[in-house]
Amino acid sequence: MNKLAVAILTALAAASAVAASDGRDDLTEEDRARVAKVTAPTRDFSAPESFETLPAGAGTTRKMINADIFSHPSANLTFEGRQEFLVGNGLFRKDWVSSPSSTQASDGLGPLFNARSCQACHTKDGRGTVPGFDPLERSDTVALLLRLSVPATTDEQRQQLASGHLPFVPEPVYGVQLQNFSVAGLPSEGSLEIEYEPVTVQLNGGETATLMKPTYRIENLGYGPMRKDVQISPRIAQPMIGLGLLEAIHPADILANAAADHGDGISGRPNWTRDRRTGERVLGRFNWKASQPTVEQQSAAAFSNDMGLSTPLFPSHYGECTKAQSACFDMPHGAQPHLGEHEVPAELMDFVTTYSVNLAVPQRRDVDDARVLAGKKLFYEANCVACHVPKYVTRRDAAREEHRFQLIWPYTDMLLHDMGEGLADQVSEDEASGSEWRTPPLWGIGLTRTVNPNATWLHDGRARSLLEAVLWHGGEAQAARDRVVAMTPEERADLIRFLESL
Q: What does the binding site for ligand HEC look like in residue numbers (CB under 6 A)?
A: 114-115, 118, 120-122, 142-143, 145, 235-238, 243, 266, 286-288, 295, 298-299, 302-303, 306-307, 352, 356, 379, 382-384, 386-388, 417, 419, 423, 437, 439-440, 442, 445, 457-459, 466, 469-470, 473, 476-477, 480, 484, 499
Nearer to ligand HEC, 168 or 286 (CB): 286
Q: How far apart are CA 191 and CA 484, in angstroms?
A: 37
Give me the least distance between CB of 240 and ligand HEC, in Å please. Answer: 6
Give me the least distance between CB of 12 and ligand HEC, in Å please. Answer: 12
Between the alpha carbon of residue 68 and those of residues 57, 65, 238, the distances in Å are 20, 8, 16
Residue from 121, 123, 122, 143 nearest 132 by CA: 143
Q: How far apart are CA 75 and CA 244, in angstroms?
A: 13
Give me the least distance between CB of 347 and ligand HEC, in Å please. Answer: 15
Nearer to ligand HEC, 24 or 110 (CB): 110
| Strands 191-202 and 231-236, bridge-based pairing | unpaired
Q: How far apart are CA 20 and CA 250, in angstroms?
A: 10
Give me the least distance between CB of 56 and ligand HEC, in Å please. Answer: 14
Nearer to ligand HEC, 35 or 218 (CB): 218
Give me the least distance between CB of 470 and ligand HEC, in Å please. Answer: 5
Nearer to ligand HEC, 27 or 415 (CB): 415
Give me the least distance between CB of 115 and ligand HEC, in Å please. Answer: 4
Give me the least distance between CB of 9 and ligand HEC, in Å please. Answer: 14
Secondary structure of 239-286 in the HEC alphabet? CCCCHHHHHCCCHHHHHHHHHCCCCCCCCCECCEEECCCCCCEEECCE
Nearer to ligand HEC, 288 or 318 (CB): 288
Residues 54, 56, 58: CA angle, nearest 5 degrees: 75
Give me the least distance between CB of 405 and ligand HEC, in Å please. Answer: 22
380 within 8 A of 494, measured Cβ to Cβ: no
Nearer to ligand HEC, 97 or 307 (CB): 307
Residue 201 main-chain phi, psi, to 5 deg: -120, 130
Nearer to ligand HEC, 31 or 263 (CB): 263
Q: How far apart are CA 329 and CA 112, in angstroms?
A: 10
Nearer to ligand HEC, 54 or 236 (CB): 236
Give me the least distance between CB of 363 and ligand HEC, in Å please. Answer: 19
Q: How far apart are CA 83 and CA 85, in angstroms?
A: 5
Residue 336 main-chain phi, psi, to 5 deg: -115, 115
Q: How far apart are CA 499 and CA 502, in angstroms?
A: 5
Q: How far apart are CA 437 and CA 458, in angstroms?
A: 10
- From the CB of residue 113, how many other CB atoms can be counted at a distance below 10 Å? 23
Q: Within 13 Å of residue 216, how many CA atoms lie on the same side as its CB? A: 23
Give me the least distance between CB of 402 and ligand HEC, in Å please. Answer: 17
Give me the least distance between CB of 155 and ligand HEC, in Å please. Answer: 27
Q: How far apart are CA 291 and CA 270, in angstroms?
A: 10
**Chain-centre distance for alpha carbon 365:** 23
Nearer to ligand HEC, 77 or 480 (CB): 480
Residues 238, 392, 400: CA angle, nearest 5 degrees: 70
The burial of 65, by beta-carbon neighbours within 10 Å (0-12 exposed, 13-18 middle, 19 or more buried), is given as middle
According to DSSP, residue 105 is labeled G
Give me the least distance between CB of 229 and ligand HEC, in Å please. Answer: 21
Dihedral sign for Cα atoms in the order 283, 285, 290, 295? negative
Nearer to ligand HEC, 27 or 253 (CB): 253
Nearer to ligand HEC, 24 or 459 (CB): 459
Nearer to ligand HEC, 172 or 214 (CB): 214
